[in-house]
Amino acid sequence: MARLDAAIEDSKALPPANLDRAADYIQRLKLITDQQRNAIIDHTAGSLTREEADEWERIIAQRL
């Protein structure tokens, strides 16, 4: 519980804008776990063919 207490105390010293950002970040952390994130990556990895990936890369490079 010491880390939680320290985090809460640290958050009290943040300016309002940073406190909002910290709260948003914590909320995102609650929404998805590392295990869920890894499962999503595993599920979608390799979903493009090499040709499709090359085309995406070309289009992105043109827009930069």
List the domain boundaries for the chain. 2-63
CA angle 26, 29, 33 (to 5 degrees): 160
**Span 14-25, pLDDT tens digits:** 999 999 999 998
List pLDDT tens digits, range 4-62: 999 999 999 999 999 999 999 888 888 888 888 888 888 888 888 889 989 999 999 99
- Checking if the pLDDT of 1 tops 80, the result is no
Q: Residue 11: CB partners within 8 Å, gap ≥ 6?
A: 19, 22
